[in-house]
Amino acid sequence: MTRHGWLIAIACAYLYVFPYFPRIQSANELPRVYLVRAIVDEGTVAIDTGVRRWGATADVSPSNGHHYSNKAPGSSILAAPAYAVATAVASPGLAGSMWVCRVFAGILPALAFLWLLWGFLERFAPDPAIRRLVVVAYALGSMAMTYSMLFFSHQLGAVCVGSAWILALDVVDGRRTRPWMAAAGAFAGAALLVDYQAVFAAVPVAVLVIVRLRREPLAELAKTLGAALAGAAVPVLALLVYHDAAFGSPLRTGYDASQSFAVYHQQGFLGITKLRAEAFWGSLFRPDNGLFVLAPWLLLALPGAYALWRRGERGDRGIVLTSGAVVVIYVLFVSSINFWRGGWGTGPRYITAMLPFMLPLVAAALQWLKTRPALLGAAAGTIVAGVAIYSLSMMTFPYWPDSLKNPLVEVTFRMLGDNLVAPSLGSALGIAGLAGVLPYLALVAGSLGVALVRAATLRGAAIACVVGAALLALFLAFPASSPATRDHAYGYVKNVVTDP
């Protein structure tokens, strides 16, 4: 418990709340659940039964007289065995199916990835207290939390491509043997199977591996890269088979068959058309959706890149270049897709896969500040703000309406004032309102508090809390939605939460 209590606390927090609201007909989650049930119950990838029983969503695509999920199928494939076991024990309804899918295709892979990150970050932050703070920030103060606990594929895609990166670097650095490169390739292929855009990050990783191995004998290089390609072939082949079965061609995706958002999906490649200043600003800096506003601690990657570059130990500069390339790719991607906002959510979910690549840089920045507790505390204040934003949104309503200018204040804070929270273990036991989520808040606050004190001392932790509170207070000064828009959106949310 002393060494790994932080991971146990994160696991308990992830499992404690269950933000499930049937009335919103979650377009991202329902088609994936329908597919899980169709695979296990009917041996098909057509989701006609789910659509007929619980209703269609915007992310259901018709094809050849049937209905299919327009999502990459990897998360549903991963959840199917767990659902099969659940059906052998009981007959889970839609809510039970959703819980199984979220746990086994979201939460458990995310927790395993946190453990992998813990070991990987040691080369950038030798101090375990700094590493713990970075992992806690990522797990509780970023989109990693949101999309681990919801049945979206973005965090699972980040887990896949991030694992591919870590395992490939371990092989290149001699920490693992060559067979592990097949596992790295399998994770890279799985990233495509899970979330199409997650595979973008695999390109800079492949370049880094080839550059690092360029001095090896040609035969050895061919064996290493061959192992990676062999590993990747299995999930890629599974994806092509799914496309062919559902949409009539291995290269035709569900987006090609989409009708609800055909005007967006069928333009360019994955909706990529032209660069948009609005998408760039809205995805990174706007209060309702901006990555660096909702998780300001990620800005520490900038000084971290400088510190790591100056350190210049073996592989450091390659990490900086690779991480930078991944960030540039995803910023360009989200700035050029026509459906960049992506509907209701907390943060620019389409770039979730790039976050693991920023963590070594953040770790390097905090390690550099370790000898300056006051500065470290001030920097850690950005982590306090991020953890507060994401943990509070998860225990209330993590589907922020995209019509609002300041949803943290206009939804999350307002719900807290009205004693409204998401379903949880507490509510299942009959404890309503904020009282029911007190254990969840204790887990989050305890994980963060212990990490802060161990990394920055008690004084630094106090500074972090003050800075974090000041950053949260800034949201009160940000532009607000019009009263009519605000009240209409919140009225809908309130009805959803109070009358499921």
Q: What percent of the chain has pLDDT over 90?
A: 85
Mean pLDDT of the chain: 93
Helix axes 154-172, 202-212, angle to 10 degrees: 0
| Widest pairwise Cα distance in the chain | 68
Residues 459-466: what's their mean pLDDT? 96
State pLDDT tens for residues 34-55. 999 999 999 999 999 999 999 9
User: Looking at the 3D structure of the chain, how many domains does it have?
Assistant: 1
Q: Are 441 and 448 in contact (CB under 8 A)?
A: no
The reply to whether 262 falls in a domain is no
Q: Which residues pair with 62 in a beta bridge?
A: 67
List all residues 6 or more positions away from 31 whose beta carbon is below 8 Å from its beta carbon. Answer: 47, 50, 57, 59, 60, 68, 69, 70, 71
Residue 132 near residue 366, CB atoms below 8 Å: no
Note the pLDDT of residue 17. 97
137, 291 in Cβ contact below 8 A?
no
Confidence of residue 2 (pLDDT cuts 50, 70, 90): low
Residue 264 lies in a domain: no
CA distance 118 to 438: 28
For residues 419 and 357, give the distance between their C-alpha atoms in angstroms, rounded to a whole number: 37
pLDDT tens-place string over residues 193-219 = 999 999 999 999 999 999 988 888 888
What is the reported pLDDT for 376?
Answer: 96
Helix (H, G, I), strand (E, B) or coil at 69: strand
Instruction: Give the mean model confidence (pLDDT) for residues 13-19.
Output: 97
Whole-number pLDDT of residue 216: 84
**Phi, psi at residue 314, to the nearest 5°?**
-55, 120
Q: What's the Cα-to-Cα distance from 95 to each of 42, 46, 69, 98, 394, rounded to whole Å?
A: 19, 20, 18, 5, 17
* Residue 35: Cβ within 10 Å count: 27
pLDDT higher than threshold 80 for residue 271: no
What is the predicted pLDDT for the residue at 205?
Answer: 95
Please write the tens of the pLDDT for every residue from 362-412: 999 999 999 898 999 999 999 999 999 999 999 999 999 999 999 999 999
Tell the burial category of 402 from Cβ atoms under 10 Å away from its Cβ (0-12, 13-18, 19+): middle
Chain centroid to Cα 187, Å, comes to 16
Within 8 A by CB and 6+ apart from 186, the residues are: 231, 232, 234, 235
Tell me the residue range of the domain where 217 lies. 16-254+269-498
Lowest mean pLDDT among 3-12, 194-203, 348-357: 3-12
Residue 438: partners with Cβ closer than 8 Å, 6 or more residues away: 426
Average pLDDT of 325-342?
92
C-alpha dihedral sign at 154, 330, 274, 276: positive
Per-residue tokens: 244: 């062919």
pLDDT at 267 over 70: no
Does the pLDDT at position 500 exceed 70? no
**Distances 62 to 249, 259, 325 between C-alpha atoms, Å:** 14, 8, 37
In a domain, 380, yes or no: yes
Domain annotation covers residue 4:
no
| Res 262 pLDDT > 70 | no
Nearest to 379 by CA among 460, 470, 434: 460
Residues 301 and 364: their CA atoms lie apart, in Å, by: 8
Say what the pLDDT of residue 268 is. Answer: 61
Q: What does the pLDDT look like over 420-448, one tens digit per residue?
A: 999 999 999 999 999 999 999 999 999 99
Cα–Cα dist 385/388, whole Å? 5
Contact status, residue 340 vs residue 279, Cβ threshold 8 Å: yes
Cβ proximity of 235 and 157 under 8 Å = no
What three-state secondary structure class fits 337? strand
pLDDT at 351: 96
Structure tokens at 428: 């299942």
Q: Is the pLDDT of residue 273 over 90?
A: no
For the residues 298-324, what does the mean pLDDT come to? 93
pTM of the model: 0.95
Q: Please report whether residue 472 resides in a domain.
A: yes
**Would you say the C-alpha torsion 72, 75, 77, 83 has a positive or negative sign?**
negative
Separation between Cα atoms, residue 73 and residue 103, nearest integer Å: 17
The backbone torsions φ and ψ at residue 488, rounded to the nearest 5 degrees and listed phi first, read: -65, -45
Which region holds residue 268: left if phi is over 0, alpha if psi is between -120 and 50, else beta?
Answer: left
500/69 Cα distance (integer angstroms): 24
Distance of alpha carbon 361 from the chain centroid = 18
Which residues contact residue 469 at a Cβ distance below 8 angstroms, ignoring those fewer than 6 apart?
A: 384
Residue-level pLDDT at 499: 79
The tokens for 41 are: 């119950």
Residue 1 domain-assigned?
Answer: no
228 close to 182: Cβ distance less than 8 angstroms: yes
In a domain, 245, yes or no: yes
Average the pLDDT over each of 58-67, 297-306, 374-383 and give the range with the smallest value.
58-67
358, 301 Cβ separation under 8 angstroms:
yes
Q: Is the pLDDT of residue 263 over 70?
A: no
User: What sign does the CA torsion over 252, 254, 257, 261 have?
Assistant: negative
Q: Does a structural domain hold residue 282?
A: yes
How confident is the model over 114-162, as pLDDT tens digits?
A: 999 999 999 999 999 999 999 999 999 999 999 999 999 999 999 999 9
Q: How confident is the model at residue 256 (pLDDT cuts 50, 70, 90)?
A: confident
3-state class of 269 per DSSP? Answer: strand
Question: What does the chain come to in residues?
Answer: 500
Q: How many C-beta atoms lie closer than 10 Å to residue 476's C-beta?
A: 11
CA nearest neighbour of 102 among 147, 40, 162? 147
pLDDT value for 13: 97
